[in-house]
Amino acid sequence: MTAADTMPAEARTSWRADLLLALVATLLALAVNAFSGFRDLSNAGGDNDSLLRLVEVRDMLAGQGWFDLHQYRMGPEGGFVMHWSRLVDAPIAAIILLASVLTGSMALAEAIAQVLWPALLFCLAVFFTARAARRFAGDGAVLPAIVIGAAALHFIGIFSPGALDHHNVQLTLTMASLSLLLEAPTRRWAALLSGLCAALTLAVGMETAPYVATIGACIALLFVVDPGGERRIARDFGLGFAGVSALVFVTTIPPSAWGQAQCDAFSSVQFVVAAIAGLGLAVVASLNASSGGRRLMSLGLLAVVLGGVVVALFPQCLAAPYANLDPRLKELWLDHIDEAQSLFSLAVNDPASVAARYATPLLALVLMALRLRGPWRRQDSLVGVLLVAAFIVSAWQVRGSTFSIAFAVIPLSAWIATWRERARVSPSGSVSLRMVAVWLVSVNVVWTAAAAATSTALEANEITAEAKDTDLDADCNAKASFAALALQPDTTVLAISNLGSPILAYSGHRVFAGPYHRNIAGDLLALDAFLGSADQTKTIVAGHNVGLVALCRGNAETKLLAAKAPQGFLAGLVGGSVPDWLEPVAETRGNPVELYRVR
């Protein structure tokens, strides 16, 4: 039995210590949220995806099939098929079922799941961050990783109570895959488990495809450089990646859809690529290639085969993700999604936010570059290439900064550990001040606070009208704002896309619009209704059995559409011009979400 086959007592002790620290950080974050009364449960703050995920879980618990991903209450008659994975629905549903048995209340069970699920993921993410920091820079980096890692993950918001969206799952799995790879040289099953995590994060959503591809390429190149030390790791990772991808394919995709290629969700495309890449890597790693040139040639041939398969069988997936999106939806929806903006757009429109999103990842990149002056290590390769990939993605779309901020914690923790050791060995005032400065610039929330303060100072002369609009927009997301709507007989509600998910989550009604790229027909139908004249809207309303029209004046989408068509139906409604085929619902007067009943 080798050292890689067992977990030494010292390793077990460090594992338990890291888990204990992660639990402490999680309890502290929960305490902060509890002190605020778990506000996010009563006001999702525009997190449409988490609300729709809750609706999807409810539908499954109510009897909708495992393979049936239709959202029947959104879009045109018959709904549309969502691109999400049941892999996220299943554990949330399990928590709700168990909590409902214990409490006897489905509403309370849902609240428990909305708190417990993000908290569990937060704990695991902090734990794997600490493990990665330990393997990257030693024991001294663990405490900094816990502190700045927990702070970063808490304030980026994807682990807040009510966050049922899949981005927190993906970040946790990606960090787990990296952490396990860092431990793989001394842990027998770590590489296999890393491949498992990589396959699962890809199955949950295509957003992590760049990170999975980066990890796979890095493993392959490490094997080329050091076959003796990396052969088993490359083989096990490939087997785990291919094996779990096959398992996910047969358990989440109905046999009738096995031949259908979906570029935005796990389907035959991703399964074929994962099977070829994973098994190919395992085969190449198992061959007794004596020279680096032969190993590189074998991997190059594998890459050519992969590229040929994609070009020949799935050429449609080589296009940009939203290449086929209707131009009107691109102009009036996609171009106004904050997380879909580029670094350039953010620098032009909201320069203060650049520091909050990019400061710590950029600092971490500088630290990794400085390491090039010394001996380069395996750990540096894995952390460095993943951080670079995440930063590039974040420059393309802001949403990638969630991953780059998390990966930046690892080299920043090593930096803090170095200065802590200097302060211990050579204590002095100047060294202590420098150590404090290193701590401060490594904490992402410090940059966020500085950016917010700068933004406030720059906009100090802009009067409170904008602040009032912001408050109204926040009220559009509050659960209480939809209480009157929930009391109305179930019908189809004409509303902007930002109100689609809250209406489904807080009532039994159905809607046309929702901010989802597969709901093209429903979103265009809502745009035609709001941008057209009152008579044109009346025709749409009559033709699709609309019973209610919902309006939230403070929402940014409402203001955008009203400005787009000043003579349109929505602009008239905002201005107080109610057509004779509508009547205000008295119970919603003074409510942020106003209702109008079709006569």
- Residue corresponding to tokens 């890809």: 202
* pLDDT of 3 strictly over 50: no
- What's the pLDDT band for 8 if we cut at 50, 70, 90? low
Q: Is 78 left (phi over 0), alpha (psi -120 to 50) or beta?
A: left
Tell me what pLDDT residue 244 has.
Answer: 96
Residue 577 in tokens: 């011009």
* pLDDT of 471 strictly over 50: no
Taking residues 397-420, report their average pLDDT. Answer: 94
Tell me what pLDDT residue 465 has.
Answer: 43
Q: Is 576 left (phi over 0), alpha (psi -120 to 50) or beta?
A: left
Tell me what pLDDT residue 356 has.
Answer: 85
* pLDDT of 526 strictly over 80: yes
Q: Taking Cα atoms as reference points, which of 489, 465, 485 lies closest to residue 476? A: 485
Q: Taking Cα atoms as reference points, which of 7, 371, 382 lies closest to residue 181? A: 382
Contact 99, 113 (CB under 8 A): yes
Q: Taking Cα atoms as reference points, which of 176, 297, 304, 150 lies closest to residue 240? A: 176
Mean pLDDT across the chain: 90
Taking residues 572-584, report their average pLDDT. Answer: 93
Contact 216, 33 (CB under 8 A): no
Contact 223, 235 (CB under 8 A): no
Residues found in the chain:
599
The whole-angstrom separation of Cα 553 and Cα 469 is 9
- What's the pLDDT band for 591 if we cut at 50, 70, 90? confident
Letter string b/e over residues 333-360, b meaning 16 or more CB atoms within 10 A of that residue's CB: beeeeeebbebeebeeebebbbbbbbbb
Tell me what pLDDT residue 469 has.
Answer: 47
| Cross-strand bridge partners of residue 583 | 597
Taking residues 33-60, report their average pLDDT. Answer: 92
Global pTM reads 0.93
Q: Which residue intervals of 86-141 are DSSP H helices?
A: 86-103, 106-137
Residue 72: CB partners within 8 Å, gap ≥ 6? 59, 78, 79, 510
Share of the chain above pLDDT 90, in %: 73
- SS3 assignment, position 492: strand
- SS3 assignment, position 83: coil
Reported as a single tens digit per residue, the pLDDT across 117-163 is: 999 999 999 999 999 999 999 999 999 999 999 999 999 989 999 99
Q: Taking Cα atoms as reference points, which of 407, 416, 422 lies closest to residue 440? A: 416
* pLDDT of 319 strictly over 90: no
Tell me what pLDDT residue 355 has.
Answer: 86
Contact 387, 364 (CB under 8 A): yes
Is the dihedral angle over the CA atoms 333, 339, 342, 343 positive or is it negative?
positive
- What's the pLDDT band for 2 if we cut at 50, 70, 90? very low
Which domains can be identified in the chain, with CATH numbers?
471-598 (3.40.50)
Report the interhelical angle of 142-155 vs 429-442 (nearest 10°): 40
DSSP of 24-36, one letter per residue? HHHHHHHHHHHHT
Tell me what pLDDT residue 347 has.
Answer: 80
Q: Taking Cα atoms as reference points, which of 510, 499, 491, 505 lies closest to residue 592? A: 499
Tell me what pLDDT residue 1 has.
Answer: 39
Report the interhelical angle of 351-370 vs 378-396 (nearest 10°): 160
DSSP of 182-245, one letter per residue? HHGGG-TTHHHHHHHHHHHHHHH-GGGHHHHHHHHHHHHHHHHH-HHHHHHHHHHHHHHHHHHH
Reported as a single tens digit per residue, the pLDDT across 335-351 is: 777 777 888 888 877 77
Say how far residue 167 (Cα) sits from the centre of its chain: 2
Residue 399 in tokens: 């949403």
Taking residues 480-503, report their average pLDDT. Answer: 94
* pLDDT of 464 strictly over 50: no
Contact 359, 444 (CB under 8 A): yes
Residue 45 in tokens: 């703050």
- Please, what's the largest Cα pairwise distance for the chain? 83
The DSSP secondary-structure symbol of 597 reads E
End-to-end CA distance of the chain: 79
Report the interhelical angle of 167-183 vs 209-225 (nearest 10°): 10
The whole-angstrom separation of Cα 513 and Cα 493 is 9
